[in-house]
């Protein structure tokens, strides 16, 4: 009989301010990109059915993957100039020459991001650069392309006037690529002689879990099969988030986000 009358309410795995921001941002993205579109668009999943690509590190694997994601995110592939770079590169070249450059600081612990987005070049195309090593890492390649293409949807299509990386991450969820970005947010690396981790994106692991739970809730998916493709940690955060959402349906998308003033 212990605990019979004291069932504990599910707790939200992320803080209140982040939750409210995410719900408000999600609702805004729904308005921008269409409710019916979001509810009916199939998710991209890490299977050959969705990505019939030979990931051998070739430029063809990059262009084929980019075409799939562009179609998913309703972007005209002809408007994108996509190329690779590596972390030691100092110049980025578009169709009409060198547009910008960087000088790596070997004393700095910071490294360049996995992808880079530039506004339209002289030929009217968006310049997207992908770190070369990703061509043999399909999941990170898809996640990075989805994030950079989300910049096109927000900045390139002039839906926002400034860069918000967290909103950019959330946009990948709206377009059905969130499984990849969530899984790549934190990955453990284990080999016979090393152990570590790498990260990708700007939302934290628990925030990805809540974002995907919001997505499933909005699509009225109570037990979506696609969660089988999530890593164990993300899937756990998704379940905790879903439990909180369904225990608080009177609050979800109804409370206002009021950022605290310093």
pTM (global) more than 0.75:
yes
Is the pLDDT at 46 greater than 60? The verdict is: yes
Confidence of residue 220 (pLDDT cuts 50, 70, 90): very high
Domains of the chain, by residue range, sit at 16-247
Confidence of residue 219 (pLDDT cuts 50, 70, 90): very high
* DSSP assigned state of 156: I
Q: What's the pLDDT at 190? A: 43
**Per mean pLDDT, which range of 61-65, 113-117, 253-257 is the poorest?**
113-117
Section 217-226 average pLDDT? 95
Burial class from Cβ neighbours inside 10 Å (0-12, 13-18, 19+) for residue 32 reads middle
For the segment 185-205, what is each residue's pLDDT rounded down to a tens digit? 864 444 334 333 344 557 999
Section 230-245 average pLDDT? 96
Q: 118 with 126: CB under 8 angstroms?
A: yes
Across the chain, where does the E strand assignment appear?
A: 80-85, 91-94, 97-101, 115-120, 126-131, 186-190, 195-199
Q: What's the pLDDT at 1? A: 39
Q: Compute the distance between CA of residue 73 and CA of residue 64 in angstroms, rounded to an integer.
A: 14
**Of 260, 245, 255, nearest in space to 14 by CA:** 245
Q: What's the pLDDT at 166? A: 93
Average pLDDT over the chain, rounded to an integer? 83
**Per mean pLDDT, which range of 48-57, 182-191, 203-212, 226-235 is the poorest?**
182-191
């Amino acid at each position: 009989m212990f605990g019979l009358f004291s069932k504990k309410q599910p707790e939200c795995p992320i803080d209140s301010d982040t939750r409210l921001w995410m719900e408000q941002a999600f609702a805004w993205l729904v308005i921008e990109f269409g409710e019916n579109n979001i509810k009916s668009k199939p998710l991209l999943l890490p299977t050959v059915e969705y990505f019939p690509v030979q990931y051998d590190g070739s430029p063809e694997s990059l262009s084929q993957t980019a075409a799939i994601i562009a179609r998913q995110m309703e972007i005209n592939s002809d408007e994108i100039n996509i190329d690779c770079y590596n972390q030691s590169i100092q110049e980025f070249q578009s169709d009409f020459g060198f547009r910008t450059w960087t000088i790596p600081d070997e004393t700095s612990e910071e490294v360049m991001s996995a992808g880079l987005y530039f506004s339209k070049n002289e030929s009217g195309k968006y310049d997207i650069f992908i770190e070369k090593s990703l061509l043999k890492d399909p999941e990170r390649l898809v996640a990075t392309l989805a994030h950079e293409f989300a910049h096109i949807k927000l900045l390139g299509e002039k839906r926002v006037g400034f860069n918000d990386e967290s909103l950019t991450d959330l946009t990948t969820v709206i377009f059905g690529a969130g499984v990849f970005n969530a899984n790549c947010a934190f990955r453990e690396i284990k080999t016979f002689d090393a152990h570590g981790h790498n990260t990708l994106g700007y939302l934290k692991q628990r925030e990805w879990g809540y974002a995907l739970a919001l997505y499933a809730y909005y699509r009225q998916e109570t037990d979506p099969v696609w969660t089988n493709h999530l890593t164990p940690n993300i899937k756990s955060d998704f379940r905790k988030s879903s439990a909180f959402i369904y225990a608080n349906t009177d609050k979800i998308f109804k409370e206002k986000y009021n950022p605290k003033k310093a």
